[in-house]
Amino acid sequence: MRIGITGQNGFVGTHLFNTLGLFPDEFERIEFNRECFLDEEVLDTFVKKCDVIVHLAALNRHNDPEVIYSTNINLVEQLISSFGRTGSKPHVLISSSTQEEKDNLYGKSKKAGRELLANWAKKNGAIFTGLIIPNVFGPFGNPFYNSVVATFAHQVSRGEIPKIEVDGDLKLIYVGEMVETILELIRTRRGNPSYSVGQTSEAKVSEILLLLQKFKSEYQDQGVIPQILNDFEHNLFNTFRCYMDVENSFPRKFTEHKDARGAFVEVIRLGIGGQVSFSTTVSGITRGNHFHTRKIERFAVIKGKALIQLRKIGTDKVLDFYLDGNEPAYVDMPIWYTHNIKNIGEEDLYTIFWINEHYDPSNPDTYFETV
């Protein structure tokens, strides 16, 4: 199934694009870029290649609300015109918002765009799914643009004190859950001009801020994996970790206690369960080259010399961390970062691995990609 995503490089678009890449036997990703909306021929070429189009491209913020409205309507009208020129009838999904019923031009633009596509689909016998979505949060959203969670996580991780403008109740869905919903609708070819995506959590703005500050104090400052009570807190914690300055946060040295008997190092303090493993790696061998989308993981080198490398999926920059067992240290693996560990010394490398869940071969959350 050939799938194109307008707004491919946006917050939800990036997560959807990367997740589709986990199923190469099921989906082919049709590349989209902003040039598509600047050149009719480029847009038509894109449209003709797609069995499914997920329309996520939209303007969320601008000093002039009229620009938001006209831009979002224009993008929909360009798609509909391209369908007419090319005779294409793809399954179209559009992301709208629970702001549809609010008195603002962004919400009105999303509702009007959804209705335009619904009318096109009805006239042309095409499948259309209009998604009405609550607040989406997760890793890699743009602070001061995508969500208050992104803004607060960015600020808290940098030691800033966010300001709560309105302490309202937020109806939320994690971006990974949003992507799962989209994939299910694509797989089942389910059409619905007004499909309300249910929230998976709800929290006051002040409650979110308190949790993020807890993560800052316990995890970022002290290296403690905090107590995580439910899926929402797990997702929020993984979100927070991705707003930290990963490059300058690791490796972190352990506190080592030595006496005549030898040495003692506390590897990890946990408010959560999981699985601890131990490995030896011979000189020159590399382990890993995979990434996780939900797991929390720590590599602790206790003997030998290692190079740990990380690379965020969809980017080219590789982060190199050098560790030496003479000064025991650890590196934590953010989600959606492929990672490996290589023995760069002459003796065996001794490593302790901790991960927050037991290994399940039927649901391993382990995807192989070379750093």
The string of DSSP letters for 244-260 reads S-HHHH--EEPPEEEET
Q: Is 304 left (phi over 0), alpha (psi -120 to 50) or beta?
A: left
Q: What average pLDDT does the structure give for the chain? A: 96
Q: Is 274 left (phi over 0), alpha (psi -120 to 50) or beta?
A: left
Q: Which one-letter DSSP state was computed for residue 31?
A: P
Distance CA 208, CA 146 (A): 16
- Fold category of 247-368 in CATH: Jelly Rolls (2.60.120)
pLDDT band at 281 (very low <50, low <70, confident <90, very high): very high
What is the CA 188 to chain-centroid distance, rounded?
A: 24
pLDDT value of position 360: 92
Q: Which residue has the tokens 């000064």?
A: 327
pLDDT value of position 146: 86
Report pLDDT digits (tens) over 148-184: 999 999 999 999 999 999 999 999 999 999 999 999 9
pLDDT value of position 355: 96
Report pLDDT digits (tens) over 35-83: 899 999 999 999 999 999 999 999 988 889 899 999 999 999 999 999 9
Q: Which two tokens stand for residue 62?
A: 């601008």
Instruction: Write down the H helix ranges in 21-129.
Output: 40-49, 65-86, 105-124
What proportion of the chain, given as a percentage, has pLDDT over 90?
92
Instruction: Write down the H helix ranges in 189-305.
Output: 205-215, 231-241, 246-249
pLDDT value of position 317: 97
pLDDT at 102 over 90: no
pLDDT value of position 231: 97
Average pLDDT over residues 242-269: 92
- Give span(s): CATH 2.60.120.10, the chain: 247-368
Q: How far is CA 253 from CA 20, 215, 299, 301, 304, in A?
A: 37, 19, 12, 10, 14
- Give span(s): CATH 3.40.50.720, the chain: 2-133
Note the pTM of the prediction, 2 decimals: 0.94
**CA dihedral in degrees (258, 270, 287, 344; nearest 10)?**
-30
**Exposure class string for 119-154: b at 16+ Cβ within 10 A, else e:** ebbeeeebbbbbbbbbbbbbbbbebeebbbbbbbbb
Report pLDDT digits (tens) over 3-43: 999 999 999 999 999 999 999 999 999 999 888 999 999 99
Q: Which CATH superfamily is domain 2-133 in?
A: NAD(P)-binding Rossmann-like Domain (3.40.50.720)
pLDDT value of position 174: 98
**CA dihedral in degrees (220, 221, 222, 223; nearest 10)?**
20
Nearest to 223 by CA among 188, 253, 257: 253
Please report which helix (H) or strand (E) contains residue 13, including its range: helix 11-20
Average pLDDT over residues 81-87: 98
Residue 324, burial from CB neighbour count under 10 angstroms (0-12, 13-18, 19+)? middle
CB of 200 within 8 A of CB of 224?
no
Please report which helix (H) or strand (E) contains residue 198, including its range: none
Distance CA 197, CA 349 (A): 48
pLDDT at 103 over 90: no
